[in-house]
Amino acid sequence: MRAPDGFLPETEQRNPRTVDMDTLSTIDLVRCIHEETRSVHDAVSAALPNIAAVIDAAAVRLAKGGRLIYAGAGTSGRLGVLDASECPPTFGVNAEMVQGMIAGGLAALTTAVEGAEDSMEEGRRQIQAKSVSADDMVIGIASSGRTPYVRGVLRAAREAGACTALLTCVSHANLAEEADYLLVASTGPEPLTGSTRMKAGTAQKLVLNMISTGVMVKLGRIYQNLMVDLHASNLKLKERSVRIVMEACGAERDEAAEALQSAEGECKTAIVMLKCSISPVSARALLKETGGFVRKALAKQSARC
């Protein structure tokens, strides 16, 4: 729903519960902020049906080679870039599949680029530079629901045929008309007036985690609750890979480590090898037949026996 003329977004309004925060003792101050943050989960709960719809729509496109692209300004943009950057190591996808865009470019990740969020044209240019198409899902992130940069992103994406969504933290979002899906987590006034890095940012982080994780579940990148496609690029993740195979198969450490070595570090392959007592070559072939879904691969092998 579009905001009425002259409407001040909830994220910019003063919070009556925190007007005396500058007089509080340190422990009462942090309790006050903590109590305000409790409401974030309820705000996100209201958006769950639409979040599920966005996950399904995105998964269909990514399964065909499309991309999930987040775009926002300031804190919203940084959170999108953060979620996108975590996807390659966590889910083993390439960096093109999930991307983050921010008003002002990469420099804005660490330094505020004043005025960048006010440019519709920059949003349009960034989308056009990515050659967005009907295969892509573009999610604009705007706490206030009215950021011009995000309007430019969404409008250009829709013109290119992409599926679009708006993630906002207000009940009346002027950008709602630009999106196919509306994700509203209405977090209300911030403890510190207008500081949307607080409650609004927390809500956005929760929703983006749900979207990226949900999409990867739909793409078969997760088995049970294990990240079986992770890219083990350091010692911590290599150790995690061993634990994943152990947990999935009920295997001893030496058995899991040996299977991983035979599978060239591929958790999925090692799991299917151990659970089906087959070779790495056969396990990879079975996973290919079932689109990379471990559960489907196990069921197919079981049906053959």
Question: Tell me, what CATH number does 256's domain have?
Answer: 1.10.8.1080
pLDDT tens digits, 64-115: 999 999 999 999 999 999 999 999 999 999 999 999 999 999 899 988 887 8
How is residue 3 annotated by DSSP? Answer: P
Residue 3: its pLDDT value, please?
Answer: 54
* Separation CA 63–CA 216 (nearest Å): 10
Q: Is position 114 annotated as part of the catalytic site?
A: no
The CATH number of the domain holding residue 48 is: 3.40.50.10490
Q: Write down the residue that tokens 């680029």 correspond to.
A: 113
Kindly name the residue from 10, 36, 117, 190 that is annotated as catalytic. Answer: 117
Q: Is residue 286 part of a domain?
A: yes
Number of structural domains in the chain:
2
Same domain for 185 and 94: yes
Which is nearest to 176 in space by CA: 197, 155, 159, 195? 155
Q: How far apart are CA 131 and CA 133, in angstroms?
A: 6
- Do 163 and 293 belong to one domain? no
Residue 111 in tokens:
């330094």
Is 227 part of any domain?
no
Q: Are residues 281 and 148 in the same domain?
A: no
Instruction: Examine the domain organization and report whether 44 and 184 are in the same domain.
Output: yes
- Say if 99 falls within a structural domain: yes
Question: Distance from CA of residue 66 to its chain's centroid?
Answer: 15
Q: Are residues 242 and 214 in the same domain?
A: no
Instruction: Over range 182-193, report the average pLDDT.
Output: 95
Specify whether 214 is located in the same domain as 245. Answer: no
246 with 102, same domain?
no
Residue where a domain stops, chosen among 159, 192, 218? 218
- The domain boundary residue, chosen from 157, 183, 218: 218
Average the pLDDT over each of 120-134, 197-211, 225-239, 260-274 and give the range with the smallest value: 225-239
This prediction's pTM: 0.92
**Active-site residue, 117 included:** yes
| 50 and 152 within one domain | yes
Determine which one of 86, 247, 255, 258 is catalytic.
86
Neighbours of 22 (CB within 10 A): 7
Burial 54-72 (b: 16+ CB within 10 A, else e): bbebbbebbeeebbbbbbb
50 within a domain of the structure (yes/no) = yes
At how many degrees (to 10) do helices 253-262 and 267-276 cross? 120
The reply to whether 198 falls in a domain is yes
162 and 72 share one domain: yes
Q: How far apart are CA 76 and CA 7, in angstroms?
A: 21
The per-residue pLDDT for range 6-29, each reduced to its tens digit, is 568 899 999 999 999 999 999 999
Q: Which domain holds residue 242?
A: 235-304
| pLDDT, tens only, 138-186 | 999 999 999 999 999 999 999 999 999 999 999 999 999 999 999 999 9
For residues 68 and 187, membership in a common domain is answered with: yes
User: Do 239 and 180 share a structural domain?
Assistant: no
Single residue among 218, 250, 284 that ends a domain in this structure: 218
Q: Tell me the C-alpha to C-alpha distance, in Å, between residue 234 and each of 21, 93, 199, 230.
A: 44, 17, 33, 11
Asked whether residue 161 falls in the same domain as residue 265, the answer is no
**Residue 175, in any domain of the structure:** yes
The pLDDT assigned to 6 comes to 59
